[in-house]
Every structure is written in C-alpha cells, then in structure tokens.
Amino acid sequence: MASVPRSFLLLSIIPTILILCADFACCNTGRKTGDGLDTDFSGFSVPLEHSFEVDDVSRFRMRGALQLRGGRETSVSLSQSQLSEEDRKTLKEVAAVDGLYKIRVPRVSLTDRQTERQMDGYLTAFVRACSLVESHLSDVITLHTDVSGYLIGVSIVTIPGACRGTEVEDEVDLEAFNTTLTIIAPTNAPQPETALFIERMDIEHEKRGKPQEQKSFFAKYWYLILGGAIFLMASSSAQPSAGGAEEQQS
C-alpha cells in the first residue's frame, strides 16, 4: 500500500479497499473509486464508527461505511472519508495523554438478511491513539464471524504497533486512513487422520513384509545350504584320509 504514490492517494477522495475472505490480496486504490459503492448492491452496508476523546468518554462518530456481502464468498469493503482538521487535532491531543481510539460496528448477520433481524448492541475494539498517530493511520481491521455468519467481534491493530513517542509533524500523514480490512470465519479443527495413517502403515507393511513372505525357505537360504552341503561333503571326503594318515602314523 505504501507503494501507491501519495499524490495519487490524495486525489482519491474515498480510498476503497476490498479484500476477499482469508485472501490477503488487496485490491487497493483509487482506480476503483466509486466502483465499490455502485456495484455491490447485493450486499448491504453498516456504519463503522470511531471515538477518540481527551476525557475518555465514548462519543462515537461516523468513520465510514462497511460494505458487507454474505453468501459463499463473504467479502467486505470499506469506504471512508478523510479526517477533518479538528479531528486530526483531537487525535493528536488524545495521543499525547495516552488515550484510546475506539471503533465499533453494529452486530449483524451476513447470511440471513431476509429476516432483517437487527440485533441490538455493538462490537467494540480499541487501539492506543498514539500508536495510530505514529503509524500514520495505517491500521488493520479484522471482522470475525461465527459458523452461522453472525459478526461476533472486531479488532483493530496498527502497524507498527508500538508507541515510541516520535512526533508526527506532517499533518498530511494524518489525513486519510490506510486500512487493511479482512473478514475471518472460524477454521475447521482437524479430525483424527485415521485414513492416512492406515495407508501409511499399509505401505510400510508392503515394503517390509511382502518380499519376505514370497520367498520360500530354500529360495532364501540356498547359498547357505549349498555351502553347508559342500563343506560337509568336503569334510567327509577329507576325514577318512586324515584318519587313515593318523592311524598309519601310530
């Protein structure tokens, strides 16, 4: 994302980031400006709100709109506006007193939109305001869903995540968010891998067991038997002569 020229980013009033589920290919940039809003009518949009106050009392304001689309390919995109002059000032002040920057999204279901059952309540997450400022508003927002497609949690982190106390001089750095957005569904935990294990055992069996079973006793040890037989024959033929020699001597 950093590779995008800043002037270009500035020109795009609404940077839209579209990321497919579990696929970190970000189709970022202003080339798609406006597209996101026009084409995704099959999905729906929920507000993404944020709050940063010096006195730490939450007052949520609109940050942008999340375009959610359920179904087989769950996807999400975000359209958000720039921070105003006043907001930038407040954010810097909050960062100075080590305040928090909070975001929230309403609880929704991605799958059953027909019932339109709006659940009350929000999902909230936070990040330290100073780290947001120091990372020049580069944040990673992750939405988590459960098995049936309900949003269950949201998280926000900044990259880098640390607060080192570096001054952010350039007001320009704090104008637009550089957001990476992902939506994560639960992974399926593995089952015991019996089939593979048995297969492997069979292969090992074949390797080890088969050649031994096929060969008969004689086939396997013919050279020993032969050797033994020759030895016996040789010794039996040699013995009488040796014995005879001894007898003769005595």
Partner 1 sequence: MAKLTSLFVILLSFFCISEAVFEDQVGKFDWRQQYVGKTLFAHFESNTQSSKKMFVATDKNIFASFNSRTGDLLWRHVDKTGPEGSIDILLLHGQDALMVVGDGRLLRSWDTNIGGLNWEAVLDTGSFQAACFVAIQDTVKLVAVLKKAAISLHYLSNGHQKWVENLPDSDAVQYQAVYSGGEEEVYVLGVVPNSHLTIIAYSLEDGEIIKSVEASWLSSIESSCVVVGQGVLMCVDPATLALYTLPIQAEETPEFSQILLQSLDLEVFPGFQPVLVSSQPHPARSPLSEFFLQLGPDHHVLLQLNADGYTIAPLRDFQPAFLVSFATTGKKTVAAVMTPKNETACAINLFSVDSGRRLLDTTVLFPLEPNGGKPHTLYVHAFLKKDDSVGYRVLVQTQDHALTFIQQPGRVVWTREEALADVVTMEMVDLPLTGTQAELEGEFGKKADGLFPMVLKRLSSQVTLLQAWLAHLWKLFYEARKPRSQVKNEVTIETLSRDEFNLQKMMVMVTASGKVRREGVTASGKVRREGLFGIDSKSGSILWKHYLENVQPNAAFKLIVQRTTAHFPHPPQCTLLIKDKDTGLATLHVFNPIFGRKSHIALPALPRPILQSLLLPVIDQDYAKVLLLVDDQYKVTAFPSTKNVLQQLQEMASSIFFYLIRSDQGNLSGFRLRKDLSTERIWEVVLPTEVQKIVAVKGKRPNEHVHSQGRVMGDRSVLYKYLNPNLLAVVTESTDTHPERAFVGVFLVDGVTGRIIHEAVQRKARGPVHFVHSENWVVYEYWNTKSRRNEFSVLELFEGTELYNSTVFSSLDRPHLPQVLQQTYIFPSPITTMEATLTEKGITSRHLLVGLPSGAILSLPKMFLDPRRPEVVTEHSREENLIPYAPEMPIRTEWFINYNQTVARVKGIYTAPSGLESTCLVVAYGLDIYQTRVYPSKQFDVLKDDYDYVLISSVLFALFFATMISKRLAQVKLLNRAWR
The residue ranges that bind partner 1 (CB under 8 A) are: 56-58, 98, 100, 102, 104, 107, 119, 121-128, 131, 140, 142, 144, 146-148, 150, 152-153, 155, 157-163, 184-194, 196-198, 200-201, 205
Residue placing its CB nearer to partner 1 in the complex, 13 or 162: 162
Residue placing its CB nearer to partner 1 in the complex, 32 or 102: 102
Which tokens in the block code for residue 230?
Answer: 């020759």
- Integer angstrom CA distances of residue 32 from 83, 89, 145, 168: 21, 30, 27, 30
Nearest residue to 95 (alpha-carbon basis) of 58, 56, 59? 56
Residue placing its CB nearer to partner 1 in the complex, 74 or 79: 74
Residue placing its CB nearer to partner 1 in the complex, 10 or 184: 184
Amino acid at 22: A
Q: How far is the CB of 184 from partner 1 (least distance, A)?
A: 7
- Integer angstrom CA distances of residue 250 from 89, 239, 246: 126, 17, 6
Q: How far is the CB of 83 from partner 1 (least distance, A)?
A: 21
23 by DSSP, 3-state: which? strand
40-74 burial, b if ≥16 CB within 10 A, otherwise e?
A: beebebbebbbbbbeeeeeebeebbbbbbbbeeeb
Q: How far is the CB of 72 from partner 1 (least distance, A)?
A: 17
Residue placing its CB nearer to partner 1 in the complex, 3 or 148: 148
Q: How far is the CB of 26 from partner 1 (least distance, A)?
A: 16
Q: How far is the CB of 173 from partner 1 (least distance, A)?
A: 18
